[in-house]
């Protein structure tokens, strides 16, 4: 089954958004964090999320300082790319004629990964004009801008055609929005049987209220981490039925342990993430759900 091309509305200078979202947009328009930029320069795949899998810690034993720095950067990028590939692998059977929606696309790496895997059309949305421009430049440089496009829009109200997408996802961007509004837009955009995939950090309801570490992460990223249970409740309210749930908490710890030792990339939040994962108050979760 294929989908019709998406009707694009006339762009507006600023997406409709709340005051809080405007603050988030301002943050990302000003952001020049090496942990995002240096990793992406390796292969021009810019991700804004964390990594999974066993880390090659031998990179820390490299005696040459410059080479050690390069090897650590490359290893962290390998881990974050593995996370992007895992998400893409859960999008379902897609064809080059299908369209996918990347909600909160950042600098665009996830859409490129999906396109390279399936040959599909991709629309990425970000409330950061700077990110959208950067991502479109990258797609043009790759020669895929006829199939991969990025838009300065609000992922809660995209203006795209109802039922036009075979798959959609959020990769570590759900903590910036209200889940009911987000999943309502995913459900509207997806065709029946379309797949929505989320990878996110969430706080563990069985721990109790959000921990001190979760509160520190919220303050660091100007976000609001949701409880694990709320994802499933909001999905159910919006015709999204989980078909696969995977706890990636243990799988992401090696990334954070290595990043903690990458002096040129640390942001000061590394120990907080590790403490939160280890004390059980915070989880890294993948949820794949079908639109019914």
- Dist CA 138 CA 200 (whole Å): 25
Name the CATH superfamily, with its identifier, for domain 24-156+169-291: Vaccinia Virus protein VP39 (3.40.50.150)
| Confidence (pLDDT) at 8 | 46
| Confidence (pLDDT) at 5 | 47
What average pLDDT values come out for the chain (292 residues) when binned by 10 residues? 46 69 88 80 89 97 96 96 98 96 96 98 96 96 97 96 98 97 98 98 95 96 96 98 98 97 92 98 98 98
| Confidence (pLDDT) at 15 | 74
102-125 CB burial, b ≥16 within 10 A, e <16: bbbbbbbbbbbbbbeebebbbbbb
Length of the chain: 292
| Confidence (pLDDT) at 40 | 82
- Dist CA 231 CA 170 (whole Å): 12
182: exposed, middle or buried (Cβ count in 10 Å: 0-12, 13-18, 19+): buried
Question: Do the Cβ atoms of 46 and 107 come closer than 8 Å?
Answer: yes
- Dist CA 56 CA 68 (whole Å): 12
- Dist CA 147 CA 230 (whole Å): 34
**Dihedral sign, Cα of residue 237, residue 243, residue 245, residue 246:** negative
- Dist CA 57 CA 140 (whole Å): 35
Nearest to 72 by CA among 270, 263, 262, 268: 262
| Confidence (pLDDT) at 16 | 73
> Which three-class secondary structure state does DSSP give residue 196?
strand
Starting at the earlier edge strand, list the strands of the sheet with 240-247. Answer: 148-152, 121-126, 99-103, 165-171, 190-203, 282-291, 240-247
């Amino acid at each position: 089954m294929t989908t019709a091309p998406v009707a694009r509305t006339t762009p507006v200078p600023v997406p409709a958004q709340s005051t809080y979202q405007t603050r988030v947009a301002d943050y990302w328009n000003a952001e020049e964090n090496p942990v995002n930029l240096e990793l992406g320069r390796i292969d021009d795949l810019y991700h804004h999320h964390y990594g999974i899998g066993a880390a090659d810690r031998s990179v820390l034993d490299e005696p040459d300082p410059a080479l050690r720095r390069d090897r650590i950067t490359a290893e962290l990028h390998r881990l974050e790319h593995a996370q992007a590939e895992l998400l893409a692998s859960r999008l379902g059977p897609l064809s080059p004629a299908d369209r996918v929606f990347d909600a909160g696309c950042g600098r665009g790496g996830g859409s490129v990964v999906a396109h390279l895997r399936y040959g599909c059309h991709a629309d990425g949305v970000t409330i950061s004009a700077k990110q959208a421009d950067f991502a479109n430049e990258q797609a043009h440089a790759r020669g895929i801008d006829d199939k991969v496009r990025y838009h300065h829009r609000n992922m809660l109200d995209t203006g795209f055609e109802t039922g036009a997408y075979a798959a959609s996802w959020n990769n570590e961007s759900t903590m910036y929005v209200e889940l009911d509004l987000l999943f309502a837009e995913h459900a509207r955009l997806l065709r029946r049987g379309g797949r929505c995939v989320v990878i996110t950090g969430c706080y563990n309801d069985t721990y109790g209220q959000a921990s001190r570490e979760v509160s520190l992460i919220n303050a660091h990223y100007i976000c609001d981490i949701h409880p694990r249970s709320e994802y499933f409740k909001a999905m159910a309210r919006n015709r999204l039925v989980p078909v696969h749930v995977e706890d990636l908490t243990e799988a992401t710890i090696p990334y954070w342990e290595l990043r903690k030792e990458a002096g040129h990339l640390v942001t000061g939040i590394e120990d907080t993430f590790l403490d939160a994962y280890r004390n059980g108050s915070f989880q890294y979760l993948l949820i794949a759900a079908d639109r019914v």
